[in-house]
Amino acid sequence: MTAIMILGLVAAGLTTVAFIPQVHKTWKTKSAKDLSLGMYLIFTSGVVLWLIYGILRKDIPIIAANAVTLSLTLVLLYFKIFYKE
Amino acid sequence: MTAIMILGLVAAGLTTVAFIPQVHKTWKTKSAKDLSLGMYLIFTSGVVLWLIYGILRKDIPIIAANAVTLSLTLVLLYFKIFYKE
């Protein structure tokens, strides 16, 4: 595995796990008022396309990163809609 | 350009422009309380690595998408810190 591949995997890892603190904060505060529904709808559709892209190219890192990101952004979408106030 | 490449470009485009509605909402409401500082710190570092990855691989779509995403997430980081309440 080349240094550049490792860099790509770390980048993918960071932009995936980044959503965990947001899920935790929103779950704890039960407040999603400041989160943009538009952002999470657009971002989630982009992640779905990345997932299809990864599957078509049989690219495991892209599939893995976007499957995790998709589950996290779907949770945030659920919170955003569910904690409507 | 193959259909799969177009799919990748659209996915990159969506996961990039997705941050615009969040920047707009936070700028309008001047409220970033519900945004997770941890998320944007981790996500921004991941985007920086993606940018370096794209430069090393001379991959224009990855460079372009992550340069735009970086500017948007830096604005959100600034808002999150600046609108501290």
CATH number of the domain that residue B7 is part of: 1.20.1280.290
Interchain proximity B19–A11, CB inside 8 Å: no
> pLDDT tens-digit profile of B29-47?
999 999 999 999 999 999 9
Interface of A with B (CB under 8 A): 4, 7-8, 10-22, 24-26, 29, 31-40, 42-43, 45-47, 49-50, 52-53, 56-57
Indicate whether A7 pLDDT > 60.
Answer: yes
List the structure tokens of A79. Answer: 């919170």
Indicate whether B85 pLDDT > 70.
Answer: no
Its domain, for residue B16, covers 3-82
Tell me, what's the ipTM? 0.89
Place of tokens 């997430």: B73
> pLDDT tens-digit profile of B56-67?
999 888 899 999
Q: How many folded domains does chain A comprise?
A: 1
Distance CA B10, CA A6 (A): 25
What residues contact B34, with CB distance under 8 A and at least 6 apart? A25, A26, A29, A31, A32, A33, A34, A35
Distance CA B56, CA B59 (A): 8
